[in-house]
Chain A
Amino acid sequence: MREPVSTAVTRRGFLKTGALAAVAAPLVIRAPFAAAATKVHDFQTNADVAKAEQEGEVVYYGHDGEAGIGVLLDAFKKDFPKIKTSYVRLQTGALYAKITAERSAGRFGVDVLQLSDISPAIDFQKKGGWEQYASPEYAAYKAEHQSSPAGYYGWGGISFAGICYNRARVKPEQAPRTWKDILNPALKDGISAKLAASGMQHAQWYMLRKLYGNDFWQEFAKQRPKGFDARAQLFDRLSKGDDRVCALAEYAGYTLFAEKGADIEFVAPADGLPAISIYIGVVNKAPHPEAAKLFVDWALSRRGQQVYQNQKILLYGSLRADAGPMPTGKRLSDFKLLFPTDWNDYVASHPVFVKEWNSIMGL
């Protein structure tokens, strides 16, 4: 499935031999780096920091909400006050459409791209859109949590989903414990999930189909689930009792609303929690190449990952080997996360998913 690492050497722009060592020895933390890597604050970068500051700006395209992106960029600006930040935010599908349209018209205005779905990330790699940049910080990540070959994009953090229910509206004896419980006919017309645009929904569909077979989702369709675009809507409705059970309850959404005082309960089924990552990398032909590298290094560093993981508006679990606990006190390793094992199969299943899911959601 994974290409041999050595082929990567032939790629243009892959110059730093030190990075090769990092990729070849993914499990070694703080592997020895070439002299080019410099330490700034408490992380390593191959970017020329002086040059980056001279460039003075980094343009970020992302999928998170305004508030989330604001928190992230503000944290970066605090560390590098000389580098201004600007951004475009759109949902992953539209965001990816925009960046590809721009590039096909010969406009290169983006430095860093972050996507919430692996399918476009792999497509972008095929199109030669990512700059292959071996961030020294990759050393803290497992090889499976990097692009293949390494250096195109990194896994910026994990989001995973279980089941959530409104305690006031679901009787204790009906409260779901396992994934199969979302098929309980008593919950008909009271279940919500996401629409086909969601990468998280794709992951859940894929993993539960692997676990319980194709019929599982056909049964689910009979519940007349309600589909929404984003997690905030799911939890907003769940908290207010408009829906009784959320079948795709992201942990990050749960913590945010539980903190607001919503009477909801998170369930982590024993079979595991479908999980996805976000993907971040340097875009090639970036207008501010050094600042872009610096930003990605920062984002993947322990420092940046603390922002991703600890800011409640983001709350992406860090895959770094040295990551601390999440604000809830739990670590990623406390959950049984379900990742696809075969990414090609996963990406290939996407059209099937979209079609089936649209019909389940009544579109």
Chain B
Amino acid sequence: MRTWTPGPRLVSVVVGGGAAVLVLYPIAYLIQASLSVGDPQARPPEAYGLANYADLGRYAHIFGNTLLVAAVATVLAVIVGFAMGWILSRTNVPGRAAFEQLMALPYYVTPLMGALAWALLGSPTSGFVNQIWRALGGDGHIIDVNTPWGIAWVMALFEGSVAFVMIGAVMKSMDPALEEASQVLGAGRMRTMLRITLPLVLPGVLGATIFVFAEMLGSFSAALVLGLPSRFYVVTTAMYQLVSQYPPRFPTAAAMGVSLFAVMFVMVWAYRRIVSAGNYATITGKAFRPRVMDVGRLRWPLLGMCVGYLAVAVILPVLTILYASFQRLTTVFPRADNFTLANYRTALSLDAVRSALWNSLLLGFATASIGVVLMGFLSWLIYRSRLPGAGVIEYLLMFPQAVPRLVFAFGMLWAWLVFPIPIYGTLWLLLIAYLTVFLPLGLRTISGVILQIDRSLEESAQMCGATWGYRLRTVTMPLLKPGLVAAWLLLFIASVRELGASILLMGPKSKVITPAIVESWFSTSSELTAALALLQTLAVAAALAIMFAVARRAVQAGGE
């Protein structure tokens, strides 16, 4: 007895088409705005033309700045991500399991908090490091984070942990026999890593690289906190200025954003070329035992690297923020009269903390849960289903990554305002917005793993007579589990810390917390901001801890 099940084609068309609409609908409004040459505030535009694109030449130096910091930060992040991913999933460095959990922490720290901390640590005059330097008799400063290098450094540390999560998931799912084969043949460890490991994880690394680069292009907080003091603008901070001054210059900002689509398009194209050029399946039907290699004495320096990374990306920033949150006016040398609890008193009295925090966690949970299912299916659709048009969908879905969210948010604002179903001003709007802007994040994380799963694992299920839905549920999704868990966490954190889209789309009754934190940096002080950022981090940590405890209990109760 066969019950009717919708065919893969139908469901793919519905889901793929739905996702495409989610992306294209706001983009249509952005493109419309970028072509507006009349009154910049008029909606719909009074006149159309290409003047906004022609004017972009004026901002050449800003595009140059952006590419510079994004490229430096990406290289740094991918190197660190790859090295950490390799150390923690392929070698016998002591305390690997613990480190692996800790490695994702910088992502939780968020670029804003990271930038604030590093501004406190490394500003030329007031930076703690430089204050200590001068107290020791030095002159001037030894580090200066208000430079392109400083910005790239902070971006790499705090946006770059995505690279670690993505590359790490790929490394873990690689058959160690492939590496062992190389070692048996007499290749040294370094050679094995460069010649075997690196090429094998290449699609994952490349996917991560492209993704991280796009993320860096859209990075806002670090350039905002560290770039302004040295009059250094990147595209996002320039756009922010353009849309926040009166009258807001949407058309120029939209044209900047739309022209970034071209960059994204080339990157996705390159990625697809490389992925399709080689056979990159590394989870084969030959099931393997995860094994690690003995790196001998080398494990102490490697351990040092891990600790060092954690120190600059987590320990130092968090301690700095913690210290600052109890200060009236932060200086490195503590004075009794400078300590205060006022920042926390103020923070806890804010609406932002009282209601917005809960909304943020709720949205994070919903975005991550819906997102994992949606994006898992879309990854399968793009890389496995062989349905016509799957490639086009991939291009489409990467678009939100190309445009800084701040600008994309305007497209979404205009789009969903006129949408007949009244979701505007509700949390649903934010949910839709998050699902849209995080499509690329989810897709990249999951597809890095999906590409590694040998096709025959699904085909053999098909040969056993399983329909596509059954296969997806019993074979594909379970095999993707490590990737899906990683994606869930990334999406959860990304949602909670989302800033650009939230700022504009929040309604009076649908507030989330991150905009309040940034805003407090603008309008109050670094100290209150530090307190808010810490409260947010604590809440996220608590929420995750509770969730995992509940999940573990549920799994145990349900039996294996």
A–B contact with Cβ pairs below 8 Å: the answer is: yes
A residues sitting closer than 8 Å to B (CB atoms) are 59-60, 64-70, 86-94, 96-98, 100-102, 104-105, 107, 109, 117, 119-120, 123, 169, 195-197, 199, 224, 226-233, 236-237, 239-243, 257, 260-262, 313, 350, 354, 358, 361-363
Looking at B231, B351, B508, B520, the one whose CB has the most chain A CB atoms below 10 A away is B508
Task: Establish whether residues B126 and A101, one from each chain, have CB atoms under 8 Å apart when the complex forms.
Answer: no
Task: Establish whether residues B329 and A66, one from each chain, have CB atoms under 8 Å apart when the complex forms.
Answer: no
Chain B residues lying within 8 Å of A236, measured Cβ to Cβ, are 525-526
Q: A88–B418 Cα gap in the complex (Å)?
A: 20
Interface residue from B124, B330, B508, B523 paired with A232 (Cβ < 8 Å): B523
Known contacts A64-B523, A227-B231: A261-B125 contact under CB 8 Å: no
Task: Establish whether residues B424 and A107, one from each chain, have CB atoms under 8 Å apart when the complex forms.
Answer: yes
Task: Establish whether residues A240 and B351, one from each chain, have CB atoms under 8 Å apart when the complex forms.
Answer: no
Is B414 in the interface zone, CB < 8 Å from A?
A: yes
Q: A96–B124 Cα gap in the complex (Å)?
A: 37
Interface residue from A98, A224, A261, A363 paired with B413 (Cβ < 8 Å): A98
Task: Establish whether residues B523 and A197, one from each chain, have CB atoms under 8 Å apart when the complex forms.
Answer: no
Least Cβ–Cβ distance between A254 and chain B, in angstroms:
13
Is B63 in the interface zone, CB < 8 Å from A?
A: no
Closest chain A residue to B352 by CB distance? Answer: A66
Interface residue from B126, B247, B248, B351 paired with A70 (Cβ < 8 Å): B351
Interface residue from B123, B231, B250, B522 paired with A224 (Cβ < 8 Å): B231
Chain B residues lying within 8 Å of A199, measured Cβ to Cβ, are 246
Known contacts A100-B41, A107-B417: A59-B126 contact under CB 8 Å: no
Q: A66–B515 Cα gap in the complex (Å)?
A: 10
Q: A354–B252 Cα gap in the complex (Å)?
A: 14
Q: A233–B352 Cα gap in the complex (Å)?
A: 20
Task: Establish whether residues B233 and A363, one from each chain, have CB atoms under 8 Å apart when the complex forms.
Answer: yes
Task: Establish whether residues B41 and A240, one from each chain, have CB atoms under 8 Å apart when the complex forms.
Answer: no
Task: Establish whether residues A230 and B523, one from each chain, have CB atoms under 8 Å apart when the complex forms.
Answer: yes
In chain B, positions 309-367 with a C-beta closer than 8 Å to chain A are 328-331, 337-338, 346, 349-352
Task: Establish whether residues A196 and B248, one from each chain, have CB atoms under 8 Å apart when the complex forms.
Answer: no
Least Cβ–Cβ distance between A209 and chain B, in angstroms:
18
Closest chain B residue to A97 by CB distance? Answer: B248
Is B243 in the interface zone, CB < 8 Å from A?
A: yes
Task: Establish whether residues B528 and A197, one from each chain, have CB atoms under 8 Å apart when the complex forms.
Answer: no
Task: Establish whether residues B506 and A88, one from each chain, have CB atoms under 8 Å apart when the complex forms.
Answer: yes
Task: Establish whether residues B231 and A66, one from each chain, have CB atoms under 8 Å apart when the complex forms.
Answer: no
Known contacts A98-B504, A242-B229: A65-B246 contact under CB 8 Å: no
Chain A residues lying within 8 Å of B522, measured Cβ to Cβ, are 65, 91, 229-230, 232-233
Least Cβ–Cβ distance between B95 and chain A, in angstroms:
38
Least Cβ–Cβ distance between B226 and chain A, in angstroms:
12
Task: Establish whether residues A66 and B516, one from each chain, have CB atoms under 8 Å apart when the complex forms.
Answer: yes
Least Cβ–Cβ distance between A73 and chain B, in angstroms:
8
B residues sitting closer than 8 Å to A (CB atoms) are 41, 43, 62, 123-126, 228-231, 233, 238, 241, 243-248, 250, 328-331, 337-338, 346, 349-352, 410, 413-414, 417-418, 424-425, 503-504, 506-509, 516, 519-526, 528
Q: A229–B425 Cα gap in the complex (Å)?
A: 26
Least Cβ–Cβ distance between B301 and chain A, in angstroms:
37
The contact sample of 11 A-B pairs, CB cut-off 8 A, is A66-B520, A67-B524, A70-B349, A93-B247, A93-B248, A94-B244, A97-B41, A100-B41, A119-B247, A228-B228, A240-B331
Task: Establish whether residues B521 and A195, one from each chain, have CB atoms under 8 Å apart when the complex forms.
Answer: no
Q: A98–B248 Cα gap in the complex (Å)?
A: 10
Least Cβ–Cβ distance between A205 and chain B, in angstroms:
13
Task: Establish whether residues A354 and B523, one from each chain, have CB atoms under 8 Å apart when the complex forms.
Answer: no
Q: A193–B492 Cα gap in the complex (Å)?
A: 38
Task: Establish whether residues B520 and A100, one from each chain, have CB atoms under 8 Å apart when the complex forms.
Answer: no
Task: Establish whether residues B125 and A101, one from each chain, have CB atoms under 8 Å apart when the complex forms.
Answer: no
Least Cβ–Cβ distance between B215 and chain A, in angstroms:
23
Chain A residues lying within 8 Å of B350, measured Cβ to Cβ, are 66-67, 70
Known contacts A90-B503, A93-B243: A257-B126 contact under CB 8 Å: no
Task: Establish whether residues B245 and A195, one from each chain, have CB atoms under 8 Å apart when the complex forms.
Answer: yes
Least Cβ–Cβ distance between B139 and chain A, in angstroms:
15
Known contacts A65-B520, A94-B244, A236-B525: A361-B126 contact under CB 8 Å: no
Enumerate the 9 nearest inter-chain pairs by beta-carbon distance, A residue then B residue, closest first.
A65-B523, A240-B126, A86-B508, A105-B417, A230-B522, A362-B231, A197-B245, A93-B246, A197-B244
Known contacts A226-B229, A236-B525, A241-B125: A93-B244 contact under CB 8 Å: yes
Least Cβ–Cβ distance between B263 and chain A, in angstroms:
21
Interface residue from B246, B329, B337, B349 paired with A240 (Cβ < 8 Å): B329
Chain A residues lying within 8 Å of B328, measured Cβ to Cβ, are 260-261
Looking at A69, A88, A102, A109, the one whose CB has the most chain B CB atoms below 10 A away is A88
Chain B residues lying within 8 Å of A195, measured Cβ to Cβ, are 241, 245
Interface residue from A60, A109, A120 paired with B246 (Cβ < 8 Å): A120
Least Cβ–Cβ distance between A59 and chain B, in angstroms:
5
Task: Establish whether residues A89 and B519, one from each chain, have CB atoms under 8 Å apart when the complex forms.
Answer: yes
Task: Establish whether residues A227 and B250, one from each chain, have CB atoms under 8 Å apart when the complex forms.
Answer: no
Chain B residues lying within 8 Å of A242, measured Cβ to Cβ, are 123-126, 229
Chain A residues lying within 8 Å of B418, measured Cβ to Cβ, are 105
Task: Establish whether residues A109 and B330, one from each chain, have CB atoms under 8 Å apart when the complex forms.
Answer: no
Chain A residues lying within 8 Å of B507, measured Cβ to Cβ, are 88, 109
Q: A92–B228 Cα gap in the complex (Å)?
A: 20
Chain B residues lying within 8 Å of A68, measured Cβ to Cβ, are 523
Q: A249–B124 Cα gap in the complex (Å)?
A: 22
Task: Establish whether residues B245 and A354, one from each chain, have CB atoms under 8 Å apart when the complex forms.
Answer: yes
Known contacts A66-B350, A363-B233: A196-B520 contact under CB 8 Å: no
Chain A residues lying within 8 Å of B424, measured Cβ to Cβ, are 102, 107
Least Cβ–Cβ distance between A295 and chain B, in angstroms:
14
Closest chain A residue to B351 by CB distance? Answer: A70
Task: Establish whether residues B43 and A101, one from each chain, have CB atoms under 8 Å apart when the complex forms.
Answer: yes
Given contacts A93-B245, A123-B247, 17 further A-B contacts (CB under 8 A): A67-B523, A68-B523, A87-B351, A90-B503, A97-B410, A101-B414, A226-B229, A228-B229, A229-B522, A230-B522, A237-B229, A240-B126, A240-B330, A261-B329, A261-B338, A362-B233, A363-B238
Task: Establish whether residues A109 and B425, one from each chain, have CB atoms under 8 Å apart when the complex forms.
Answer: yes
Task: Establish whether residues A350 and B230, one from each chain, have CB atoms under 8 Å apart when the complex forms.
Answer: no
Closest chain B residue to A64 by CB distance? Answer: B523
Q: A197–B244 Cα gap in the complex (Å)?
A: 6
Known contacts A66-B516, A361-B231, A363-B233: A94-B248 contact under CB 8 Å: yes
Interface residue from B125, B329, B425, B504 paired with A262 (Cβ < 8 Å): B329
Task: Establish whether residues A197 and B241, one from each chain, have CB atoms under 8 Å apart when the complex forms.
Answer: yes
Closest chain A residue to B517 by CB distance? Answer: A66
Chain B residues lying within 8 Å of A86, measured Cβ to Cβ, are 508-509
Chain B residues lying within 8 Å of A91, measured Cβ to Cβ, are 244, 522
Task: Establish whether residues A363 and B241, one from each chain, have CB atoms under 8 Å apart when the complex forms.
Answer: yes
Q: A151–B425 Cα gap in the complex (Å)?
A: 29
